[in-house]
Chain A
C-alpha cells in the first residue's frame, strides 16, 4: 500500500500544528486514504489508478492547508455563534463589518431612508460646526492672539458699557499701566484718493506706530511706521493694503517710496501689508500714523478711538482689568469734569472680533444637535422594526451559543456602519449647505469668508457619526439581545418586539421625537415672530425709492463752512434736475448705518447737569430737504428751510422723544439749547419744529433724543451722505446721480452706493440669519418627526391588521377603527408635546437675547406650534390607519 503520510505532512507543514495534533491528523487522514485506495482496488482499479483516486482526495496542494487553518480559528464561520470564550476582536470586527455591509446591500430601501435621515442631521451639524469652528474656535491670525485685548471706556451711565476712549485717557492708560506690553490707538478715517484715474473714497485708519509690532504682523514689502513718523508735523507716510496695491497699482513692486495724493496731500508709501492681514476691518485699504496733535492729545471729551493692548506674559485678564479700574478711578478724581463715572474695561480681542453672533451660533449648534437626535430616534425606530423581523436570526444565534455582548457588538457595528455612511453623505450636504450659508451670513462677521471644512471639522463629523451610530444602535441592540429566546422559538418566529418592551421603546422614541421637534419649532417660531415684528417696526422714515451714497468732502479743500455749503447746494440742485429724481438731501449719517455723532447739550434756564448726567443727543446735520426726501413727518412747528443760513439765528428741529424727555408737559418749540458749553449768547439755538422719531442705530432699540441742524449753520459736523428720492428703481439711477456729483467737482469721490432698502435689510441681517437657519432646522425636524410617527404608526397598524380585520368582520365602522388607530398615535404625540412644552419653557430662555417684541415663553407661539405638531402627527397616523381600514377583512384574517 502506498505511503500517504509524507504527502499529508507536506501539506500541513505550513500550519505549524503542535506535533501531537499533527500526528493525529496525519494518522486519521492516511487511514481514510487507505480506505479509498482499497475500495478502488476492490472495484477493479489498477494500483496506479487507485493511488491517483486516493491522492485526489487531498485536492491539490493548498486546500487542506487552508481548511485546517480555518478550522483552527476560534471565530471561524459563524462569528456570532462562536461560544468558545476566546475571541479575536479584530477578526470579529472585520467579520461584523462584512456582515453589516451585506445586510445593508440586501435592504437598499431601509439603508437609503436611514442614511438620508442621518445625513441630514450630520450634515447640518457639520455645516454649523464649521461656522462655529471658524468664527468662535479658530485663533485669530496674529501672534499669540490670546494675549491681545481691547480696552474700552466704561460709560455704562450713558448707555455705552464699551465706549471708544478719548485720546487723553488713552495716553494716560498707556503711560500709567504696568500690565501691558504695549498699547496702540486706532481711529477711523477715510481718504479721497485722487490724481490717478477716477477719484476714489478709501476706508482707512490712523494707527499708532506700534500697532503692527503689537499684533505681530510684518508687511509684505517695505516697512511699518517708525515712532518718529507717529508725531504731529512728521512727513506724511502711508501703508497700503494688498488689495489696494493690486487694484490700483497692479502690484507694482517698486511702489515703496512713491507718492500718492490722499485728501489733497502727498503721502509717501512705506510698505504694503500681506493679503490676509485685516485689522480691525477687512474694508480698510490704507493706514497712516495717528500722530495726535497737541489739542487732540489733551481731549477727554471726544471719544473716538479703539485701543488694542497686549498683556505682558503671565498677566491675567482679571489682573489687567483691576489695574485699569484703578487707573480709571484715579482719572475720575483728577478730571471730574469729563471723567466722572467713566471706568475702563478690558475685553479679549477674540470676543470683540466675534461680536454678538456668539449666542446665535451656539443656539444654532444646539438646534442642529437636536435635529440629529431626532434623526437618531428615527433610525433607532427603523432598526427596532428590523430587529423584530430578525428575531429568528438572533434566536438561532443565541441557540448556537452566541453571548449577549457579542450580539450587541454585531448590532452596534451595523448601526455605526449606517451612521458612517450617513456621515459621508452628510459631508456632501454640509459642503453644499456652506455655500448657501455663506450667502446669508451677515457681512459684519469678519471671518465669514474663511469658513470652510478643515481637518477639525472632518474630525468632528467623524466623531459625531460614530457617536450617532452608538446612540441610535444601542437601544435596538440591547432590545435584541434581551428578548426571550424560548418564546421566539415557540412562537415560530412571531415578532417578539411587537409586544411588551419593544413597543414601549418605540413609543418612547416617538414621544422623544415629538418633544424635541416641539422645542425646535417653538424656538424657530419665536425667532420668526421676532423677525416679523422687527421688520414691521416703523423706522420713522420710508425706505422705498431711496438711493444713498457717500460724498465725503476732503477737509483741506473744503475747510470753510461756506465752501461746503456751496458744494452741497450745487450738488443737490444738480441731482434734483436729473430726470427721475424727486428730491435730494445730505446728512451727516444715514439711519441704521453707522453710529454717527452724539453731543451733550445744555438747556437755557436750567443749571448745567452734574458730571455723569449730561444730556446726550444724537445729532444730525442735514440739508432742509432731508425730511421730505426721507418722508419723516413733521409733527409740530416748522422744518428747516433754505432761509436758515449762517447769517440768520441758529435753529434746530428735534425728535418727539427729545421733546418729551427734556420738556415733559411743556411746549418745546421756542425753547433754546446749546451744544457743549455756552460761551456767548450766539451759542443758543432755538427749537423750531418737532419731527417723528427715527431709529438711528438699531431697529430693535428705542429711539434716543435726536436733533437736526442745517448744514448752513452747523460748523462742527460736515454732511457725508447724499440721499436721493427717485420715481423709478433707485438702483438704476446710481450712475446718473454720480455723474451729477462729478459735474460739480470732478475730483470728488463717490462711494458706498446703496439703496436705503438694502441698508434696512442689512441692519437686520444677523436676525434674518438666525431666524432663517433655525427655521430650516425646525422644518427638517418637523419632517423627520412626521416620517418617524408615520413609520411607527404604519408598523403598529400592520401588526394589528389581524385585529382590525376581526373588528371589521364583526361590523365595526370604518370611523371607529380609524379613531382607534389615530387615537393611539395622538396619545403618543400629546404625551410628547407635554414633555416638549416643559423642555421648551426651560430652554427658550437662553434665546431671550435674540428675541424682539416677544417673550421667550410667548403663549401664542407655544399654542400655535403645539397645534401644528398635533396636526402633522394626526395626518401621519391617519394615512396608515386609513390604509388598514381599506383591507378586505378576509385577507386581514388570513394575514399571519
Chain B
C-alpha cells in the first residue's frame, strides 16, 4: 500500500473504527492492553497500529461508558495485569456498530465497485 494512502487510512479509519476494533477483540475473551495493541497490529498486518498514548485513553473511555470492564488479574508466575472484558451493554453496542459498519462498507463497495475488482 502506498505510503500516503496508508497514512490517510491510519488517520481517518482508525478514528472511526477504533472502538469497533477494541470491542470486537474483547468479545470472546478478556484481554490486556498490550495484547489488544499487538492483535490489532498483527491482524491488520501492520497497517493499523495504536501507540500507548492513544490506546489506553481509548480503553478508559470505553470503560467509562460501561461498554468494557477492566480488572486487575494476577496469574501464577506473572505480574498482575489489567484485563478488559465486554459488558452486556458493550455487546449491544458492538452489534449495532458492526451492523452499521457492514452497511457502510457495503455502501462504499457498491459505489466504488471494489467487490468486482
Contact of B57 among A33, A36, A70, A82 (CB under 8 A): A70
The answer to whether B105 has its CB under 8 Å from any CB of chain A is no
Find out whether the CB atom of A64 lies under 8 angstroms from the CB atom of B53. Answer: yes
The 4 closest A-B pairs by CB, nearest first: A67-B57, A57-B52, A64-B53, A71-B61
**Within the assembled complex, what's the spacing in Å between the Cα atoms of A309 and B79?**
97
> When chains A and B are docked, how far (Å) is the Cα of A24 from the Cα of B89?
24
Is there a chain B Cβ closer than 8 Å to A35's Cβ? yes
- Which B positions have Cβ atoms within 8 angstroms of A? 33-34, 37, 51-54, 56-58, 60-61, 64-66, 79, 81-82, 89, 92-93, 96-97, 99-100, 103
> When the two chains form their complex, are residues B61 and A33 in contact, meaning their CB atoms are under 8 A apart?
no
Give the residues in chain A near B53, CB-CB below 8 Å: 57-60, 63-64, 67
> With a CB–CB cut-off of 8 A, which chain A residues contact B52?
29, 32-33, 57-59, 64
Closest to B33 in A: A32
Digitize A15-34: 1 where CB-to-B-CB distance is under 8 Å, 0 elsewhere. 00000000011001101110
Q: How far is the CB of B95 from chain A (nearest CB, A)?
A: 8
A58 touches B51 (CB 8 A): yes
Is A317 engaged at the interface, CB distance under 8 Å to the other chain? Answer: no
A400 x B93 contact (CB < 8 A)? yes
Bound-complex Cα distance A84 to B63 (A): 11
CB distance from A11 to the nearest CB of B (A): 8
- Cβ of A879 within 8 Å of any chain B Cβ, yes or no, is no
Provide the bound-state CA to CA distance between A347 and B92, in Å. Answer: 73
Note all chain B residues with C-beta closer than 8 A to A36.
34
State the A residues within 8 Å of B (CB): 24-25, 28-29, 31-33, 35-36, 56-60, 63-64, 67-68, 70-72, 74, 76-77, 81-84, 392, 395-396, 399-401, 489, 493
Residues of chain A contacted by B82 (CB below 8 angstroms): 24, 28
Look across to chain A and name the residue whose beta carbon is closest to the beta carbon of B82.
A28
Chain B: interface secondary structure? Answer: helix
Q: Which residues of B contact A72 (CB under 8 A)?
A: 60, 64
CB A99 to nearest CB in B, in angstroms, measures 15
Contact of B37 among A28, A32, A60, A83 (CB under 8 A): A32
Asked whether A63 and B79 contact (CB < 8 A) given A31-B34, A32-B33, A396-B100, the answer is: no
Least Cβ–Cβ distance between B103 and chain A, in angstroms: 8
Q: Is the CB of A392 within 8 A of B100?
A: yes
In the complex, which residues of chain B have a beta carbon less than 8 angstroms from the beta carbon of A31? 34, 79, 81
In this complex, what residue of A is CB-closest to B35? A35
* Set B34, B60, B61, B100: member contacting A32, Cβ < 8 A: B34
Partner of A401, one of B79, B89, B100: B89
A residues less than 8 Å from B54 (CB atoms): 59, 63, 67
Residues of B within 8 A of A35 (CB): 34
Q: Which residues of B contact A25 (CB under 8 A)?
A: 56, 60
Using A31-B79, A32-B37, A84-B65 as known contacts, say yes or no to A59 and B51 having CB atoms under 8 A apart: yes
Chain A: minimal CB distance from B73 (Å): 12
Residue from A29, A76, A400 within 8 A of B61 (CB atoms) = A76
Interface centre among B65, B97, B100, B103 (most CB of A within 10 A): B65
Which residue of B57, B89, B100 is within 8 Å of A68 (Cβ)? B57
A56/B96 in contact, CB under 8 A: no
B60 and A68 form a contact (CB under 8 A)? yes
A77 touches B61 (CB 8 A): yes
- A418–B82 alpha-carbon span in the complex (Å): 48
Tell me how far the C-beta of B70 lies from the nearest C-beta in chain A, rounded to whole angstroms.
8
CB pairs A–B below 8 angstroms (12 shown): A28-B81, A32-B34, A56-B51, A59-B52, A64-B52, A76-B61, A76-B64, A81-B65, A82-B65, A399-B92, A401-B89, A401-B93
In this complex, which of B33, B54, B97, B103 has the most chain A Cβ atoms within 10 angstroms of its Cβ?
B54
Within the assembled complex, what's the spacing in Å between the Cα atoms of A396 and B97? Answer: 8
Interface centre among A24, A56, A400 (most CB of B within 10 A): A400
Query: What chain B residues lie within 8 Å of A70 (beta carbons)?
Result: 57, 61
How far does the Cβ of B72 sit from chain A's closest Cβ, in whole Å? Answer: 8
Contact B51 A71 (CB under 8 A): no
Partner of B51, one of A57, A76, A396: A57
Q: How far is the CB of A343 from chain B (nearest CB, A)?
A: 79
CA of A31 to CA of B51 in the docked complex: distance in angstroms? 14
Chain B residues closer than 8 Å to A401, beta-carbon distance = 65, 89, 93
CA distance in complex: A59, B60 (Å): 18
Shortest CB-to-CB span from B56 to chain A, Å, is 6
- Of B57, B64, B66, the contact of A64 (CB 8 Å cutoff): B57
Identify the interface centre among A24, A57, A72: most chain B CB within 10 Å of its CB.
A57
Taken together as a complex, chains A and B put the C-alpha atoms of A29 and B34 apart, in Å, by 9
Nearest-Cβ distance from residue A457 to partner chain B, whole angstroms: 45
A77: chain B residues within 8 A (beta carbon): 61
* Beyond A60-B53, A392-B100, 4 extra complex contacts between A and B, CB < 8 Å: A28-B33, A31-B34, A400-B93, A493-B103
Q: In the complex, are the beta carbons of B93 and A71 less than 8 A apart?
A: no
User: What residues of chain B lie closer than 8 Å to A82, measured between beta carbons?
Assistant: 65
In whole Å, how far is A18's beta carbon from the nearest beta carbon of chain B?
A: 13
| Cα(A60)–Cα(B52), bound, Å | 11
C-alpha gap A36/B66 in the complex (Å): 28
- Expressed in whole angstroms, the minimum distance between the Cβ of B83 and any Cβ of chain A is 11
Determine if A399 and B51 form an interchain contact, defined as CB atoms under 8 angstroms apart.
Answer: no
B79 nearest CB neighbor, chain A only = A31
User: Which chain B positions have C-beta within 8 A of A63?
Assistant: 51, 53-54
- CA distance in complex: A68, B93 (Å): 22
A125 CA / B96 CA spacing, docked (Å): 46
Among the interface residues B57, B66, B93, B100, which one has the most CB atoms of the partner chain A within 10 A? Answer: B57
Q: How distant is the Cα of A401 from the Cα of B91 in the complex, in angstroms? A: 13
Contacts of A489 in B (CB 8 A): 96, 99
Q: How far is the CB of B18 from chain A (nearest CB, A)?
A: 10
Expressed in whole angstroms, the minimum distance between the Cβ of A81 and any Cβ of chain B is 8
Taking a contact as CB atoms under 8 Å apart, the answer to whether B58 and A71 are in contact is yes
Q: In the bound complex, what is the Cα–Cα distance between A60 and B53 (angstroms)? A: 9
In-complex Cβ contact of A396 among B34, B66, B96 (8 A): B96
For the complex, what is the distance from the CA of A401 to the CA of B96, rounded to whole Å? 11
For residue B112, give the distance in angstroms from its CB to the closest CB of chain A.
Answer: 20
* The residue from B56, B89, B97 contacting A28, defined by CB atoms under 8 A apart: B56
Report the bound CA distance from A392 to B93 in whole Å. 14
Residues of chain B contacted by A76 (CB below 8 angstroms):
61, 64-65
* Chain A residues positioned under 8 Å from B34 (CB to CB): 31-32, 35-36
Expressed in whole angstroms, the minimum distance between the Cβ of B60 and any Cβ of chain A is 4
Cα distance, A643 to B34, chains bound together (Å): 125
Bound-complex Cα distance A392 to B60 (A):
27
Closest A residue, CB atoms, query B52? A57
With a CB–CB cut-off of 8 A, which chain A residues contact B103?
493
How far apart are A14's CB and chain B's nearest CB, in angstroms?
Answer: 14
CB distance from B102 to the nearest CB of A (A): 11
Q: Is B60 a contact partner of A71 (Cβ separation < 8 A)?
A: yes
Contacts of B81 in A (CB 8 A): 28, 31
Contact A71 B57 (CB under 8 A): yes
Q: Which of B56, B64, B65, B92 is close to A29, meaning CB atoms less than 8 Å apart?
A: B56
Q: Which residues of A contact B79 (CB under 8 A)?
A: 31
- Residues of B near A56 (CB, < 8 A) are 51
A82 to B61, CA, bound (A): 11
A81 to B92, CA, bound (A): 13
Q: When chains A and B are docked, how far (Å) is the Cα of A71 from the Cα of B61?
A: 5
Check B64 against A71 for contact (C-beta < 8 Å). yes
* Interface hub of A31, A35, A67, A81 (most chain B Cβ within 10 A): A67
Residues on the B chain within 8 Å of A84, using CB: 64-66
Residues in B with CB closer than 8 Å to A81 are: 65
**A71 proximity list for chain B (CB < 8 A):** 57-58, 60-61, 64
Q: With the chains together, A57 CA to B51 CA distance in Å?
A: 5
Task: Quote the shortest CB–CB distance from B43 to chain A (angstroms).
Answer: 17
| A575 CB → nearest B CB, Å | 85
CB distance from B31 to the nearest CB of A (A): 13
* Chain B proximity of A484: nearest CB distance (Å): 15
Bound-complex Cα distance A63 to B52 (A): 10
B63 CB to closest chain A CB (Å) equals 9
- What CA separation (Å) do A68 and B51 show in the bound complex? 13
Tell me which residues across on chain B come within 8 A of A64, comparing CB atoms.
52-53, 57
A630 to chain B, nearest CB (A): 80
